[in-house]
Amino acid sequence: MPHDTDQAMPADLLAHARAAKGFMPEEEGLLLHRLARARLPYGPVLEVGTYCGKSAIYLGAAAREVGGTVVTVDHHRGSEENQAGWEHHDPSLVDAELGLMDTLPVFRATLARAGLEEQVVAVVGASTRVSALWRTPLAMLFIDGGHAEVHATHDYLGWSPWLMTEGLLVIHDVFPDPADGGRPPYLIYLRALASGDFTEVEALGSVRVLRRVRGDAGDPVR
Ligand code: SAH
Ligand code: MG
């Protein structure tokens, strides 16, 4: 694809994304930014799995450029692998009084520093509780939440019906080879393809991009 400087991430926001704590490689973050730019004119972009806001900056940058809103959902208590004793634990993110993970304060500071508080709306709660209340068609859904099978499956089943036709389902941490990482994100990716409602349009690193071709919440045949 030819390099189009109009599509490049604004330099100030790229610096904020680079500085943010989190699990989003730059190349994949730039892909999120490009996809969100293309989709935000059609409706909101929703992210499951905020953590400290690294990916939210790539998405929010797109909203600053083209307008629209990014919603990011997280209970901010961390996934299994973020808990004490696990591989991705960061002791600086533990609330001393409660002895629980709390990424919300770091997220808020990160987002404020980036100047994206208007564009990015944080919803604090368990993904399934929030999706059960959701009624708004989404232009893009980015699933990057809990990696346990129950969470990944519920994220897919709870949120993907709200993705409009032509909308993009973007899944992170998809590892076809089990030696590279856990299965559940890969399993929901396979499930989406097997449904016949989605077709794969792009892949980069562990990101898979699927487009809904039929079967959104307003579709009478669903
Ligand atoms: N997108 C982030 C990384 C997300 S890590 C980045 O760019 O760095 C996964 C996040 O999902 C964690 O913050 C964890 O708290 C959250 N999470 C896990 N299970 C969840 C659930 N069931 N409901 C809401 N959030 C959940
Ligand atoms: Mg991830």
pLDDT in tens, 135-168: 999 999 999 999 999 999 999 999 999 999 999 9
pLDDT at 175 over 50: yes
Tell me the best of 30, 33, 75 to mutate to test the pocket of ligand 1, counting ligand atoms within 8 Å of each CB and taking the most: 75
Residue 153 burial (CB count, 10 A)? 15
Query: Catalytic: which of 16, 75, 76, 147?
Result: 147
pLDDT at 4: 54
pLDDT at 208 over 70: yes
Share of the chain above pLDDT 70, in %: 95
Q: How far apart are CA 201 and CA 59, in angstroms?
A: 19
Q: Which residues of 46-55 are buried (b: 16+ CB within 10 A; e: fewer)?
A: bbbbbbbbbb
Ligand number nearest CA of 206 is: 2
pLDDT at 219: 61
pLDDT at 217 over 80: no
Q: How far apart are CA 47 and CA 117, in angstroms?
A: 15
33 is catalytic: no
pLDDT at 7: 74
pLDDT range class, residue 1, cuts 50, 70, 90: very low
Q: Facing residues of 124 across strands?
A: 74
Average of per-residue pLDDT across 103-107: 98
Q: How far apart are CA 13 and CA 86, in angstroms?
A: 31
Confirm if 114 and 13 have CB atoms less than 8 A apart: yes
Confirm if 171 and 147 have CB atoms less than 8 A apart: no
Domain coordinates of the chain in residue numbers? 11-212
- pTM surpassing 0.85? yes
pLDDT at 48: 98
Assigned CATH class of 11-212 = alpha beta
pLDDT range class, residue 85, cuts 50, 70, 90: confident
Residues with CB under 5 A from ligand 2 (ion): 23, 144, 172-173
Residue 110 one-letter amino acid? T
Nearest atom of ligand 1 to the alpha carbon of 55: 7
In 3D, which of 156, 160, 145, 158 has the Cα closest to residue 48? Answer: 145
Return the SS3 of 96: coil
pLDDT at 218: 67
Q: Which residues of 79-109 are buried (b: 16+ CB within 10 A; e: fewer)?
A: beebeeeeeeeeeebbeeeeeebbbbebbee
Residue 27 backbone zone (phi > 0: left; psi -120 to 50: alpha; other: beta): alpha
